[in-house]
Amino acid sequence: MTKKLVFALLLVIFLAQFAVAPAFAASAPVGGCPTGFTLEMAMVHDAMHHKHAGTSADQNGDGYICMKPVTPSSHIHVHIDNILP
């Protein structure tokens, strides 16, 4: 009985992670990016291991940031918030 309860609890915790993510992805970007930058989802991009200049924070709250690679591998890049109309 205890093993089944622990398994069920772990399963609920695991599946709850996927139920929350689409809520952030549902909105459209508020602004655009300057030339040379690409639009990226802020939450997904923050999970990657990389070095960057600028801010990875989503300052306008739409869930997106702009990214421009500095090195060919994109391991080092610049972040800015998507604020262009």
Look at residue 35 in the predicted model and tell me its pLDDT: 92
Whole-structure pTM value: 0.57
Count of structural domains within the chain: 1
Interatomic CA distance for residues 50 and 71, integer angstroms: 11
Interatomic CA distance for residues 66 and 68, integer angstroms: 7
Per-residue model confidence as pLDDT tens digits over 6-34 = 777 776 676 666 654 444 554 788 889 99
Full residue range of the structural domain in which residue 42 is found: 2-81
More confidently predicted of 79 and 1: 79
Interatomic CA distance for residues 28 and 71, integer angstroms: 29
Per-residue model confidence as pLDDT tens digits over 44-79 = 555 556 666 766 678 888 888 888 888 887 778 888
